[in-house]
């Protein structure tokens, strides 16, 4: 008699802290028999899985060697065919630059049941942690979530006009090493050079760090700060509402007054 197929849940681990998991995500992790997790998932989240759970690190961190997507797909399928409850654990929200569409399509094409469990994304975590809104009456009517690079790592060629709109908050993912070019593109398309901006490293974690600056100075600010962790960049007037702690660095204060 053929073995019954297992199920794959694609779960958002949030920005790091275990207490930012949704209840549904927590239950999925606690019930996992196999856990395929990305490099940015915190140890305290991984510790919630059962002791007997098979844990496999799949990488998926920008700029570093990681398991190929095709390999991850085949691994999820193989585990599901063994009848296991599989959790594919992704940092943040799986639907935001998490390749969840590709993985769901592959699994469903092979007859595997899937479920997507959302998670707190880095932009939301950064805003909550450093005391600014992502939208604000009279300042930001819309939120644009974007990435600075294409699949092959080149700078995105289109979409800058929408991102340059003064009433749009831009939440930029995977742009840490491209931020100088990003600022130039936004300014060239009409965004004011003195627009408030803030880069947040390790958003949602205890070691999170805010790097605030005017848009024109953001590239230099990041180069000076030298962040090594994942960075989300928020561009827009809302970034000017960041709590005083975000602006406590004297150099940041000087950039803001300039």
pLDDT at 150: 60
Does the annotation mark 55 as catalytic? no
| Predicted pLDDT at 210 | 95
91-142 pLDDT, tens digit each? 999 999 999 999 999 999 999 999 999 999 999 999 999 999 999 999 999 9
Q: From the candidates 19, 55, 60, 207, which is the catalytic residue? A: 60
- Give the residue among 223, 215, 221, 220 at the shortest CA–CA distance from 240: 215
Q: Tell me whether residue 60 is one of the annotated catalytic residues.
A: yes
List the chain residues with pLDDT less than 70.
1-3, 60-65, 149-154, 157, 244-258
Residue 60: predicted pLDDT: 58
Q: Which residues contact 153 (CB under 8 A, 6 or more apart)?
A: none
pLDDT at residue 169, rounded to an integer: 97
Predicted model pTM: 0.87
Distance CA 235, CA 170 (A): 5
d(CA 132, CA 130): 6
Q: In whole angstroms, what separates CA 139 from the centre of its chain? A: 24
Cα–Cα distance for residue pair 189/2, rounded to 1 Å: 59
Alpha carbons 50 and 75: distance in angstroms, whole number:
20
Q: What is the 3-state secondary structure (H, E, C) of 223-258?
A: HHHCCCCCEEEEECHHHHHCCHHHHCCHHHHHHHHC
Residues 130 and 241 sit within 8 Å (Cβ to Cβ): no
**In this predicted structure, what is the pLDDT of residue 160?**
87
pLDDT confidence of residue 142: 95
- Cβ-in-10-Å burial (0-12, 13-18, 19+) of 147 comes to middle
pLDDT value at residue 255: 41
- Tokens representing 231 are 């960075």
Domains assigned to the chain: 7-117 (3.40.1010.10), 122-257 (3.30.950.10)
| CA geometry: angle 175, 180, 178, nearest 5 deg | 30
Rounded CA separation 97/117 (Å):
15
pLDDT at 34: 98
Q: Token match 């992790």: residue?
A: 29
| Active-site residue, selected from the candidate residues 19, 38, 68, 165 | 38
């Amino acid at each position: 008699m053929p073995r019954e197929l297992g199920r794959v849940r694609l779960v958002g681990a949030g920005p790091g802290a275990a207490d930012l998991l949704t209840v549904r995500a927590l239950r999925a992790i606690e019930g996992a028999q196999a856990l395929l997790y990305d490099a940015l998932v915190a140890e305290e989240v991984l510790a919630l899985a059962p002791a007997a759970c098979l844990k496999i690190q799949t990488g998926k961190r920008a700029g570093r060697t990681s398991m190929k997507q095709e390999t991850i797909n085949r691994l999820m399928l193989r585990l599901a065919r063994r009848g296991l409850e599989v959790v594919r654990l992704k940092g943040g929200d799986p639907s935001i630059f998490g390749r969840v569409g590709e993985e769901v399509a592959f699994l469903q094409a092979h007859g595997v049941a899937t479920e997507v469990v959302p998670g707190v994304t880095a932009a939301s975590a950064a805003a909550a942690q450093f005391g600014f809104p992502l939208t604000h009456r009279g300042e930001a009517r819309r939120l644009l979530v974007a990435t600075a690079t294409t699949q092959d790592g080149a700078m995105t060629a289109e979409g800058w006009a929408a991102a340059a709109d003064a009433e749009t908050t831009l939440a930029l993912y995977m742009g840490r090493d491209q931020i100088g070019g990003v600022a130039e593109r936004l300014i060239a398309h009409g965004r004011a050079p003195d627009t408030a901006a803030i880069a947040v490293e390790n958003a949602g974690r205890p070691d999170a760090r805010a790097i605030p600056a005017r848009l024109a100075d953001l590239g230099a600010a990041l180069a000076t700060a030298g962040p090594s962790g994942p960075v989300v960049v928020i561009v827009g007037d809302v970034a000017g509402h960041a709590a005083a702690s975000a602006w406590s660095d004297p150099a940041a204060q000087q950039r803001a007054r300039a």
